[in-house]
Structures are given as C-alpha cells and as structure tokens.
Amino acid sequence: MPETQLSRMAEDPWRVFKIMAEFVESFDTLSRLGPAVTIFGSARTKPEDRYYKAAQLIGEGLAKEKISVVTGGGPGIMEAANRGGAKPKSVPSVGLNIELPFEQKCNRFSNLTIDFHYFFTRKVCLVKYSMGFVYMPGGFGTLDELFEVVTLIQTQRIPAFPVILFGKAYWRGMFDWISSTLEPAGMISPGDLNLLRVSDDPEEVIEWIRTYRRTIGVPDQVPAAFR
C-alpha cells in the first residue's frame, strides 16, 4: 500500500474530531434559528436571470413571514435567496458555506454564516432545521439535495415537509421521466411523485409554506438579536 494512503488512513481517527466540531458549532447555532426554509439552486445563475429574481422574491416573502431563509451560502440562486431574505431585516438570512477551490465563496447577503469543510455535515444542516424546501433550477448539487430530501420523506425519516420545485418548464423532463419510467417499473410507489410540488409563481410558493406552517402550528420564534 502506498505510503501516502497509509498516512491518510492513520489520520482518519483524528478527522472524526473535526467532523464533530462542525456538527457541534452548526447545531448550536441553528437550533436557535426558529422557523426556516432552505432554498437550493445553481451557483451559476446570474442576477439578470428570471430565476435569480424569483429566488430573491421568495426569500423576501419568507422573511416577511418571519421565516428564515437558509442556503448553501454561495453565489447565484443562493445569493439571490439570501439577498431577499436579508431585505426585511427581521430574521436571519443564513448561508451554510462549503470550502471549495473554485466557484464557491460566501455571498455578502447572508447575515448568519457557518463555514463547512465536509459536504455531508453541511447537507445535514441544510435539512435538519428547515420545515420546507424550495428547489430552483440547478445542476448535480441541486439534484443531489432534492432526491436526498425526497428519500428521507419517502422512508419517513423526516416529516412530509413541502418540497417545491420552481420552474415548470425546467423540471418538466424530470417529472415526465419519473412518471413514464420509474413508476411503471415499480422503482417508486404509486403516489410518490405527489411528494413534489411545482410552481412558476413566487407568491404561490410562499403561500404553500405559510399554509403548512399554520397546519402544523409553528409559532414565530425570531432570535432576540433579530427582533
């Protein structure tokens, strides 16, 4: 076995403490957040794009409802959602930033930022403290998060939170493939596709979240620093 591989294996037990530290810091901060919704989407979306503008409107609308916006902290859709979420200045606009050698650095609109080294610790935190999930158009990372959350709901590991896909035209091909291929092949159960909602209207997205919040009786719980 190469020496470099042996040295990495020797470091593995110590790496556990770094993983634990990321969980402890993030759990301690986010457990005091109050009602929150996570918005996912591409880091490559430009400010002039209609989906950027829609994400900003959704973020602002949620913040006005005293619901914190949580994103991956980067540019593109994440920046747009944090930008909207920070505008009312009533709740935290949270960026859970991942350290990458390219593409990602924390956007300036997130007023509560946590940095992560590991993707999997960040992924836990993007889900654990939210009561709804909005997926704007995105790539592999967005799809990864979408199917992970749907799997958690499907297997009853988390409640049936609203899972909302924004952009009917963008997501249509995926919906068609799921309904024409996965479901007939028995790879998913009948009705599993109903776990997903799709919209082209930012206000409709906000209303779905608002209705769900009333249904489960989640009260306002804004941290003192943001009141």
So where are the chain's domains?
1-32, 36-105+125-218
The predicted pLDDT at position 100 comes to: 75
pTM greater than 0.85 (yes/no): yes
pLDDT in tens, 159-180: 999 999 999 999 999 999 999 9
Query: What are the angstrom distances between the C-alpha of 43 and each of 46, 112, 138, 144, 190?
Result: 9, 19, 8, 14, 33
| pLDDT class of 3 with cuts at 50, 70, 90 | low
Q: How far apart are CA 219 and CA 81, in angstroms?
A: 22
pLDDT in tens, 175-204: 999 999 999 999 999 999 999 999 999 999
| pLDDT class of 106 with cuts at 50, 70, 90 | confident
CB atoms closer than 10 angstroms to residue 5: 9
The radius of gyration of the chain from alpha carbons, rounded to an integer in Å, stands at 18
What is the CATH class of 36-105+125-218?
alpha beta
* Ranges assigned E (strand) in the chain: 36-40, 68-71, 93-98, 112-116, 133-135, 163-166, 196-199
| pLDDT class of 225 with cuts at 50, 70, 90 | low
Q: Is the pLDDT of residue 44 over 70?
A: yes
Question: Residue 223 in contact with residue 217, Cβ under 8 Å?
Answer: no
